[in-house]
Amino acid sequence: MPAEWEPHLATYLVWPHNLDTWPGKFASVPTIFARIAAALVHFESVRILVPDATQMFDVREIIRAVSAVDGEPLRMDRIELLPIATNDSWIRDYGPIFLNRIAAGKDGPRQIAVDWRFNSWGGKYGACNLDDTVPQRLAEHYRFEVVEADMVLEGGSFDVNGDGLLLTTESCLLNGNRNPSMNRTEVEQNLRVYLGVERILWLGEGIAGDDTDGHVDDLARFTGTRTIVTVVEQDPADVNYAPLQDNLRRLRAMRNREGKPFTIATLPMPPPLYFDGVRLPASYANFYIANGVVLTPSFGCAADEVAQATLARLFPDRRVLAIPSVDLVWGLGAIHCLTMQHPVPSRVVA
């Protein structure tokens, strides 16, 4: 599986339509999606799934109303709208996971997509039948090959470095609400078989308010084959302090393929955000890496600048653009949760 920073053919989004996902905040969410799309099309194509063809005109008009990057012309020719019905917009967790085929001795397609089972984050919410069919629907449209994996797995629950290593959490992948009949060894074996990785690196718990049981894209991310950035909480009284310190200790003890420590960078946590007295999973680790750009959530606080400056140092060849995400995280997710990359097909030399 290619790392997220490797070249993209396109990014997939699912236009927001489920009012229950952002209770009381939905009215502002389409404009935020439009800002994400407008930022991305300056660098790569964007494929947006809409509930039906009747909404295509309105979606295009909302995107057109958003200013392009630095006032440059908005590349509407890079936006493709697809009438594919979904239950919700979190395509990171149910979309296709693309892999490039090893070149030596292999014929056939250069790229395949893995279709993992999706059960609405351990059965927490309502119907997810439409979401679970998205990889097959996209494969029918774009004619890529799909392999079905008999295992529940969400795309936000793991991260890869493109060099055989995968980062994930015990609290999510080993949770009994995903694959109750599988133990750690069996989970690891499936990850190796279906994602082409060699070694799994385990973190512990997720952040407070994360209804996914601890997705890694709110905790720690590869920013290079030997570099990982992780969020840390500075306030010892905060509920996130202890689990994030534990994850930081684990990361510092991990080794790359050469047996050397990773370079570990840190991102701050924003001040706590709440909805109805419940902590929201606001995290700067929920950034998205696209061609030439990194989209990072911002939460209207001083930590925004620190996070953006950190990501700019980690990605010197990309622009870092902030997307206001206070209303997005009301739905318990942010930018990475709402995007899925389609890497450029290529053969990896064995």
Active centre residues (catalytic): 337
The backbone torsions φ and ψ at residue 53, rounded to the nearest 5 degrees and listed phi first, read -65, -25
Residue 202's nearest CA partner among 254, 243, 150, 162 is 254
Please choose, from the candidates 166, 317, 163, 293, the residue with its C-alpha nearest in 3D space to the C-alpha of residue 225.
163
Nearest to 179 by CA among 189, 167, 165: 189
Q: Which of 193, 325, 202, 310 is nearest to 263 (CA)?
A: 310
Neighbours of 293 (CB within 10 A): 19
Q: Can you give the length of the chain in residues?
A: 350
Does residue 219 sit in helix, strand or coil? coil
**C-beta separation of 35 from 293 below 8 A:** no
Query: DSSP per residue over 139-205, as a string?
Result: HHHHT-EEEEEEEE--GGGEEE-SSSEEEEEHHHHT-TTT-TT--HHHHHHHHHHHH--SEEEEE--
In the sheet that 145-152 helps form, which strands lie side by side, from edge to edge? 97-100, 111-117, 145-152
Q: For residue 115, give the H/E element and its range.
A: strand 111-117
The 8-class DSSP code of residue 80 comes to E
Instruction: Say if residues 130 and 192 touch (Cβ distance below 8 Å).
Output: no
Which two three-digit tokens encode residue 244?
């994030």
C-alpha dihedral (221, 227, 230, 234), degrees to nearest 10: -170
